[in-house]
Amino acid sequence: MPQDRESGARASEYGLNCGKRIIEAIGATSTKPGSNECFLDGELISVHCARRSNNRIGVTYKALDTVAAVFGAFEQEDGSYLVWRMSKSKFEELMTGTRSQGSSKGKVGIVSQIDFEGMARDSRSCLHSLFANDSEKARRQQNCPTRLS
């Protein structure tokens, strides 16, 4: 179902709140309030979240101009999030334009969860798993997938 102004605003609020939790949980440093960009291990990262009912994330072309990588956090059935890392160049290679006819038309690139999961061959692509019952402490693991909630 297409987004309208109201559903888009709810999605934006969800993304910002979810992104803040993930940034904090993985021990990254937020760049500024109201932004899901952060520094982790010396890289500028943009964090984006998708609910269970959505298997894609969008990043503005403006954000892609500045970041080194994108973290895609995808909600799982149990409420946890799988967080995958994708380099900026790979994101740009795989992205498609948004279907939006609104204000984001021509400004946002979309990549699907399956594309993030396909990056699993890169040991740095599958990043974290956070569980709500673990007091939101991130765990870096050697083997994919990991979960974040």
CA distance 26 to 43: 13
CA distance 118 to 132: 26
Query: What angle is formed at CA 55 by the lines to CA 124 and CA 104, rounded to 5 degrees?
Result: 100
| pLDDT one-digit tens code per residue, 23-66 | 988 889 999 888 899 999 899 999 999 988 888 998 989 999 99
> pLDDT-based confidence at 141, cuts 50/70/90?
very low
The contacts of residue 61 (CB under 8 Å, 6+ apart) are 107, 108, 109
Q: Is the pLDDT of residue 121 over 70?
A: no
- Residue 99's pLDDT is 57
The CATH topology of domain 5-140 is PvuII Endonuclease; Chain A (3.40.210)
Mean pLDDT, residues 76-82 taken together: 83
Q: Is the pLDDT of residue 144 over 50?
A: no
Query: What angle is formed at CA 32 by the lines to CA 30 and CA 37, rounded to 5 degrees?
Result: 50
Which DSSP category does 74 fall into? E
List, in sequence order, every residue forming a beta bridge with 110; answer none if it has no partner.
58, 96
CA distance 95 to 130: 26
Mean pLDDT, residues 93-101 taken together: 70
Mean pLDDT, residues 4-19 taken together: 81
Average pLDDT, the chain: 76
What sections of 26-121 are H helices per DSSP?
61-64, 88-94, 113-117
Residue scoring higher pLDDT (96 or 76)? 76
> pLDDT-based confidence at 100, cuts 50/70/90?
low
Domain spans of the chain, in order of start: 5-140
Q: Is the pLDDT of residue 89 over 60?
A: yes
